[in-house]
Amino acid sequence: MKSYFLTLSIFLAAVVNGQIAKYSNEFLNIGVGARALGMGNTGVASTTGAYAGYWNPAGLLQQKSDLEVALMHAEYFAGIAKYDFIGLTKRIDSNSVAGLTMLRFGVDNIPNTLDLVDANGNVDYSKIKTFNAVDFAALLSYARVIPQLKGIELGGNFKIIRRKLGEFGGAWGFGLDAGIRYNYKGWQFGALGRDITGTFNAWSYNLSDNYKAVFQQTGNEIPTNSLEVTMPKLILGSSKTFFFWKERISVLGELNLINTFDGERNTVVKTGLWSMEPALGGEVGYKGFVFLRFGMGNIQKQFDVSGTNQVTTFQPNIGVGIKYRIFSLDYALTDIGDRSIALYSNIFSLKIDFNKKTDK
């Protein structure tokens, strides 16, 4: 009991001394896997296997094969930002599965013009260098069935985060996620507590006096070492699959409710302390071989060009997929919310199932 109160005291002290950031570690909210992205970024209830380490680690337990490997590459804003994912999951025994998820979101080759103009006002283009702004995360997952709790699957993530701004500074962060799934008469219910203890990023900067002077002259704030806290988020989901035409046709629907507790956000439901954003997705399959997907999320109220009238915007997604033997290839066409053709992104992901060979 004493250790519990000591841990709680340390956590509260870190929150008080740290800076609570409403949109901290946003690269972890993009989503992985073209299947879930094509379904409007829904996956807390229905995602299983190698993608589940991100969406809900409890879903690892639905993995049918001994080992799964999943890969995804995406580019945003005409290829300026690149997003990569790899997931590996291994069945330990009939009751437990472990996994590793790695994410990288980066903008590479950014021009550094801080040395472009010298103290005498001379411009020297040879002084222009480049740097990378990279966000990286590794999620170590573990899921287990509790035999005494029939139909309930539990899972968790330990997250290691590394964010780097070239040679200027960076941060290390750590956090925990917890997930649960429950199967009731064909309905799948899931819940993911993301950053349940708060995720702490410790930022440190290495700026020369010359760079600090440039920041001051241009009216920019000089960054200082700090502790950034990502507040917990609760995502609830439910899904069900229906079969038609002698089970040749499958129709799956999923609803996710994304709940945040860091103040009012521009979402469908919002208060001073709590905000909720829904996301809807669907999938139609034929013989478990080919799939068509669609979804909608990121529903917001925004002002139009005149700045006087509010309009409702949403993020529409579509996708297709093929599953053949051990391979699952998925594609999604996604938008960032304003339904502009110029801002759609093409996303591909691949999953491979490996079964352990057994002696005859």
Pairing state between β 199-205 and 96-112: unpaired
219: pLDDT strictly greater than 60? yes
The whole-number pLDDT of residue 287 equals: 95
pTM of the model: 0.86
Chain mean pLDDT for the chain: 86
What confidence tens digit (pLDDT) does each residue in 111-168 have? 887 777 776 777 777 778 888 899 999 999 999 998 887 889 999 999 999 999 888 8
The predicted model gives 75-104 an average pLDDT of 92
Q: What is the domain range of residue 303?
A: 20-354
Residue 349 identity (one-letter amino acid): S
pLDDT per position as a tens digit, 262-318: 888 888 888 888 999 999 999 999 999 999 999 998 888 777 666 677 777 788 899
Position 359 in a domain = no
pLDDT at res. 356: 65
For the chain, give percent helix, strand, coil, nearest 5.
Answer: 15, 55, 30
CATH of the domain at 310: 2.40.160.60
CA terminus-to-terminus distance, the chain: 53
- Report which of 82, 48, 64, 40 is spatially closest to residue 334, judged by C-alpha positions: 40
Is residue 1 domain-resident?
no
Confidence at residue 5, expressed as pLDDT on a 0 to 100 scale: 37
User: Is residue 13 in some structural domain?
Assistant: no
What is the mean predicted confidence (pLDDT) over 336-352? 74
pLDDT at site 46: 95
CA-based Rg of the chain, rounded to a whole angstrom? 23
**What's the pLDDT at 67?**
95
Q: Is residue 8 part of a domain?
A: no
pLDDT band at 340 (very low <50, low <70, confident <90, very high): low
Domain total for the chain? 1
Give the model's pLDDT for residue 360.
Answer: 37
The stretches of the chain forming alpha helices (DSSP H) are 2-17, 34-38, 52-55, 209-217
In 166-214, which ranges are E strands? Answer: 169-184, 187-194, 199-205
In a domain, 244, yes or no: yes
Q: Say if 145 falls within a structural domain.
A: yes
2 in any annotated domain? no
Residue 223 DSSP code: P
Residue 9 domain-assigned? no
**Residue burial 241-280, b: 16+ Cβ < 10 Å; e: rest:** eeeeeeeeebebbbbbbbbbebeebebeebeeebbbbbbb
pLDDT at 144 (0 to 100)? 94
Is residue 16's pLDDT more than 50? no
| Residue 23: band (very low, low, confident or very high) from pLDDT cuts 50, 70, 90 | confident
Across the range 239-258, mean pLDDT stands at 96
In this prediction, residue 55 carries a pLDDT of 97
pLDDT score of 4 = 37
